[in-house]
Amino acid sequence: MNTQKRETEIVFDKEFTQQEPIPQAGIKRALDILQSGRLHRYNTLGNEMAEASLLEKDFADYVGAKFCAGFASCGSSIYVALKSVGVMPGDQILCNAFTLAPVPGAIKNAEATPVFVEIDEDYLTDLDDLERKAEASGAKYFLLSHMRGHIVNMDRVLDICHRFNMTLIEDCAHTMGAKWGNQFTGTFGKVGCFSTQTYKHINSGEGGLLITDDEDVAAKAILYSGSYMLYEQHLARPSLDVFEKYKKAIPNLSLRMSNLVAALIRSQLPQLDNQCKRWNERYQLIEQELSNVPHIRVPRRDEREKYVGSSFQFTLTNTTAAKVEHFIESCAKRGVEIKWFGSREPKGFTSRFESWEYLGETDPLPKTAELLNFMCDFRVPLTFTLEDCKTLCLVIKQVTDDVISST
């Protein structure tokens, strides 16, 4: 502990919500679309391909999927994914308890019942608990949220799903561009869902993408999205005869992506791999700076996990929840905006399983609750330089010394 008052208390002066500008190609294409007035994906002339259709083909090619459909948000794509794989009212869906509100929201929207699975100290799904609950519940669906970009052992996930005959749906809101081994997240399960909300790896304000190799799921998803029976205009779709089976049975939920949103995404997709490298440069610097700080535990990463470090999490150890709250407040006063999943009240973009009362009563999750009480989380926008990352780490070190190490 530092017993002498330091001469300088570092203050961080960058915004944690400031994103990089949209590429000029995206801005130009968006202006072209605005000038044409053809923002709706099905408002095309002749053989013209809509921007949304082109994006779906581009993204399917990028991840190596057969089919892709664009949605208004990742949450809406998860909801449609559940409906398209056959989830019925009352069905049980296993889901890791550490996730964000759109995930349980999609389960609620599908009128299903969540069975939450504990997480471990590295913020990953506890696969032993998953196996126990798969056996005990008889659930036929596992909605795996790659929360904050932490990718669990997908080899074992697939083994558990196979043995218990569970359909895997992946929430990849935080893992666009990430892989387990040499395979993109979102391609392990029957369906993968991605986000292009402002704080994700591609920024279109809001937006979602659903990928699958299953032609029936793809046809249903396109119809649910609101195709107005114009599904032939899609490029990353199954053959037209597949739609004949479902076109009068699937309601139009009007969850489509617009051409304007698609244009913003298409301009950023070619840069995604390079952006992922830039995030990881920042993540790895922060990891190095904080790894040996007393009272801070940084999660371990499996060498097979090709993550994208667009946010950073750590656990404060040998302390109390009250001190953690003081730590969060002290960091904020010095410009470092840290999210805390320990709060029982939803705040901003952060909430925890106890606050999702609309789901009804759920089983206790003591391990997850305890871990979230001491977990800290912050964004790492690409507007931060490497030097900025060193500065915010210095603030965290100083506040840890002042608040957590003090007696």
Across the range 229-233, mean pLDDT stands at: 97
Give the pLDDT score at 361: 86
Helices 386-399 & 272-290, crossing angle to 10 degrees?
Answer: 30
How far apart CA 327 and CA 321 sit, in angstroms, is: 10
Mean per-residue pLDDT, 244-252: 97
Alpha helices in 99-210 (DSSP H): 102-109, 127-137, 154-163
pLDDT digits (tens, 9 = 90+) for 65-106: 999 999 999 999 999 999 999 999 999 999 999 999 999 999
The pLDDT tens digits for 280-289 are: 999 999 999 9
Whether the model pTM is above 0.85: yes
Look up the CATH architecture of domain 24-270.
3-Layer(aba) Sandwich (3.40)
Look at strands 92-96 and 141-145 and give their pairing.
parallel
Averaged pLDDT for residues 243-260: 98
Distance between CA atoms of residues 51 and 267, nearest Å: 11
Token couple for 250: 């699937």
Which CATH number, 3.20.20.140, 3.90.1150.10, 3.40.50.10140, 1.10.287.3610, labels domain 272-404? 3.90.1150.10
Euclidean distance between CA atoms 230 and 223, whole angstroms: 9
pLDDT in tens, 333-351: 999 999 998 877 777 777 7
The full set of domain ranges for the chain reads 24-270, 272-404
Asked if the domains 24-270 and 272-404 are classified in one and the same CATH topology, the answer is no
